[in-house]
Structure 1
Amino acid sequence: MNDAGGAVDEVARALNVADALGKADKLDDIALGLKELDMEHYDDEDEGVEVFSSRIGDLYYPSNDLDPYIKDKNDDDSEELEDMIINPTDSVVVCARTEDDFSLLEVHILEDVGTSEMNMYVHHDIIIPTFSLSTAWLDCLQGREKGNFLAVGSMEPSIEIWDLDVIDVVQPCMVLGGILEKKKKGKKKSIKYKDDSHTDSVLGLAWNKALRNVLASASADKRVKIWDVATGKCESTMEHQSDKVLAVAWHHHEREILLSGSFDHTVVLRDGRMPSHPGYKWSITADVESLAWDPHTYPYFVVSLEDGTIKCFDVRTAKSESTSDLSSTFTLHAHDKVVTSVSYNVSAPNLLATGSMDKMVKL
C-alpha cells in the first residue's frame, strides 16, 4: 500500500467484489473503521501537540486514580510510598553502624511516639566508605535555611555533611577540610591537606543550636576547630597541649562557651568572646570520653571517663590554672567499664543517662 488514496480505492474494489459474493456487511465495518482512522491525513501533524512533553495536560487522565485501565491502585507500591512519609507524630532516630569495611547511617522512624502502637523501622540508609566515629545533627547548611543534615566525623581528617531528606544519596552535600592530594616518593608518602583542615581522625562533633551555622570538631591532631557551615570555612582553631581531643559540647544558654575534653586527662572551657584568653582547665584522673552541660542548672557540666565514673563540675569554681578533680560537685561510679556517652534529659531535671562498654544504659 503506497498511499492512503490507493488504500481507499482498493477498499472500494473489494466492496464491489464482496457485494457480489454477499459479504458486503462485514466489509462495511472495515470501511467505517478506515474512515474513522482518516488515513488520508495520516501524515498531517496536529498543531499544538508536543510529542515529548511531560506536562500533566498531555495525559488523558489527570491522575492514576481516575484512569480505569490501571488496576490495583492500592498495591504494594502504594504501601511502600506510605511508609516513606514521615508524619508529625513520628520521631527520627539516626544511628551509625559499622560493617567490615564501611559504615551505614541508618535513618529510623519511630511511629506513634508515646502510644501503645509505637513501632520502629529503617526508613533508609546511607553508605559511608570509612568508619564513622562521631555525629552531630544540624538544621541548616550553605544555601539551605532549613533542612535535616548530619555531620559525620571518621577516621579521615574531613567532616562530611549528609542530607538525610534525600533517598539513595551517594555523595555528601558538603565536606569540611580533608586531604587535597597524596604523593609517594620512594618509600615515603607525603600528604597535602586542604586549608585549615584537621590532619587526623575527627573524634567529636557538636552543633551550636543558638548560632545555627556553627559546628565544633575535636580531633586526634590535638585541635578543636570552629566551622561556619554557611561558607564551609574554618573560623578558628584551638590547641590542646599534649593529646587527642575526643569530645566537645556547646553550652545550652551561653552560646559562645565551649567545653572540650582530651585524652590528656583535662577538660577545658573557652569563651569565644575572649579569643586571647587561654580558658579554664580541670584536671581529672582518667581519659575523657564524653561531655554534657546540665540544661536545667546553668553552671554545671558532667564528664564521663574511661574508668567508669561520671564527674560533675561547677564552672564558678574555675580558675585559669589547672583545677584538680577534687573540686568536682559529685562523682558517680556508674559502670565497671568505659562510660562512652552521657546525656541529660531536657524535659526532666536531674535525669541523666549513661552508656558504657559493659553493654548497659543506666538512668
Structure 2
Amino acid sequence: MRGVAMYASNKDDPYITQQVDSDEEEEKDDILIKPNDNLVAVAKVVKDEYNLDIYVYNQTNDDWYCHHHYILEAPPLCLETIQHDPGNDETGKGNLIALGTMDTKINIWDLDVMNACMPIVTLGEKPASKEGKSRKKRDGSQQGHSDAVISLSWNRNTPHVLASGGADQQIVLWDLDEAKAAQILPPRGAEVQTIQWHANEDTILLAGMMNGTVQIIDCRDNESPPVAEWKFGGQIEKVIWNHFDLQQAIVTTDEGLLSIIDTRKSNQVLSEARAHEGGVSGVSLSLITKGLLATAGEDQMLCIWKIEDSGALTKIHSTKLNLGELHSLKFNPDIGSILAVGGSAGELVRIIDLNKFEAVGSAFT
C-alpha cells in the first residue's frame, strides 16, 4: 500500500495534535469514583501482614476491583465508617474509616487519600511521661482502652461521637473533634464484643459481651443500671437494631443461636433459631428490603432469613460459599439484594446478589 506513513507511537505522528494514552485514560477511569460506585472496605490479615483494602463495586458495569490499600501496623479487629471529618471546615462531612486493633488504639484513615502511609489521627495514643512511660490523667481517669479494641460504632445523630468496646470490659465514647476520650462507661463485666448506636436516640447504645450479656445502655448517666438486659448461653457475637422496628434487636452467639429480642423488656425474646453449626460471626439486615436478614457462620454457610412484624424468624435459603469460615457480611446501602461476604479462604471477599436465589426472590416480592 502506497502513500501511507506508519508511526510506532501516536506521539510521533505530526497530524495527531491531542495526545491520548489509552492505558493512562483507563487507569484514570479506574481511579475516579463514580456516583453509582460503592466502596467496600476489607481488613485483611495474611500471616504477619495487615492491610486495609478498598474495593470498588459497580452493579451497572459489573465492576469489582481493589482501588487502593493501606498498610497497617497492628492486626485489625473491627472497623467502622465515619461520615464526619473535623478537618472539613465547610461541611464537617468526610469519608473516614476507624479501625480497632490489638494494641489498644483506634486508627482513623481518610479514604479519599489513596495509599496513605499513616492514619490521619490515632485515638487512645497515650503520651509518654518524662520517664518515657505511658501515664494516666491526673484525675485518675484513663485516656482510652488498656487492652484490644474489638468493637466500634459511629453515632449518626451526634456525628462527632464514636463509641468503642474493648477487651478491657470498657466502653469509651470518643470526641472526634477533640480526638480524645469524652466519657468512659463503667466496666460491663466482660469483654465488649459488639456495640451499635440507636438509629434515633443519640444516647442509647446496644452492647453485647463475651459473658453472654446483652444490654441497652443510656450513656447520659454512668451510675444508672442498664435500661434493659438479657442473658444468653455462650458468648455474644453480634448485636444490631432492627431499623425497621426499633422495638426489636437481633442477637447472635458463638453457639450458633440467632435471636430477636423485644427491646422494651429485659429477658424478653420474641424468637430464636439455631442458625449455624458454630458461631454466628456475621449478621446484617437489608437497609432497603424490610425483614431481609443474612447471617454468616463458622460452618462456612450463608443463611438468609425473613423477620416477620411479630419478630418471628423464617429461614429462606442457605448456601455454602467456599470462602472458608465466614467472618463478616454487610448489605449494600443502595441495592437491597446485594451483599458483601468476608471469609478465611479463597478470594476472601465476595459480592453476592441474593436475587439469583429463587427462594429469596419469592419470599420478598
Instruction: Tell me which interval the TM-score lies in, with the shorter structure as reference length.
Output: 0.7 to 0.9
Match of 1:362 among 296, 303, 308: 303
1:252 aligns to what? Answer: 199
Amino acid at match of 2:229: K
Give the CA RMSD over aligned residues. Answer: 2.4
Report the CA distance shift for 1:352/1:70 in structure 2 as closer, same or farther (over 3 A).
Answer: same
Residue 129 in structure 1 maps to residue 73 in structure 2? yes
Partner Cα separation in structure 2 for residue 181 and residue 193 of structure 1: 10
1:68, distance to aligned residue in structure 2 (A): 7.7
Alignment deviations for residues 158-216 of structure 1 (CA, whole Å, 9 cap, x no partner): 100000110120111111103434999xxxx9754685210000000011111111111
State the structure with more CA Rg: 1
Match of 1:140 among 72, 84, 88: 84
Whether the 8 Å CA contact 2:85–2:95 is kept in 1: the answer is: no
Using the size of structure 1 for normalisation, the TM-score is: 0.73
Partner Cα separation in structure 2 for residue 175 and residue 92 of structure 1: 23
Match of 1:271 among 207, 218, 223: 218
Which aligned pairs between 1:3-14 and structure 2 lie closer than 5 A?
none
Whether the 8 Å CA contact 1:157–1:201 is kept in 2: the answer is: yes
Q: Secondary structure at the match of 2:177?
A: coil
Partner Cα separation in structure 1 for residue 103 and residue 214 of structure 2: 24
Whether the 8 Å CA contact 1:178–1:193 is kept in 2: the answer is: no
Amino acid at match of 1:138: I
2:56 aligns to what? Answer: 109
Residue 294 in structure 1 maps to residue 242 in structure 2? yes
1:351 aligns to what? Answer: 292
1:287, distance to aligned residue in structure 2 (A): 0.3
Report the CA distance shift for 1:70/1:204 in structure 2 as closer, same or farther (over 3 A).
Answer: farther
Match of 2:261 among 306, 313, 337: 313
Partner Cα separation in structure 1 for residue 56 and residue 192 of structure 2: 32
1:153 aligns to what? Answer: 100
Report the CA distance shift for 1:119/1:241 in structure 2 as closer, same or farther (over 3 A).
Answer: closer
1:276, distance to aligned residue in structure 2 (A): 3.1
Which aligned pairs between 1:4-43 and structure 2 lie closer than 5 A?
none
Partner Cα separation in structure 1 for residue 25 and residue 136 of structure 2: 48
Whether the 8 Å CA contact 1:201–1:219 is kept in 2: the answer is: yes
1:228 aligns to what? Answer: 175
Whether the 8 Å CA contact 2:186–2:222 is kept in 1: the answer is: no
Q: Secondary structure at the match of 1:81?
A: helix
Q: Secondary structure at the match of 2:118?
A: coil
Partner Cα separation in structure 1 for residue 119 and residue 189 of structure 2: 32
Q: Secondary structure at the match of 1:78?
A: helix
Q: Secondary structure at the match of 2:127?
A: strand
1:333 aligns to what? Answer: 274
Amino acid at match of 2:196: A
Residue 119 in structure 1 maps to residue 54 in structure 2? no
Partner Cα separation in structure 1 for residue 17 and residue 167 of structure 2: 59
1:281, distance to aligned residue in structure 2 (A): 1.8
Partner Cα separation in structure 1 for residue 161 and residue 133 of structure 2: 31
Partner Cα separation in structure 2 for residue 192 and residue 306 of structure 1: 36
Using the size of structure 2 for normalisation, the TM-score is: 0.73
Number of residue pairs the alignment of both structures matches = 284
Whether the 8 Å CA contact 1:201–1:221 is kept in 2: the answer is: yes
1:15 aligns to what? Answer: none
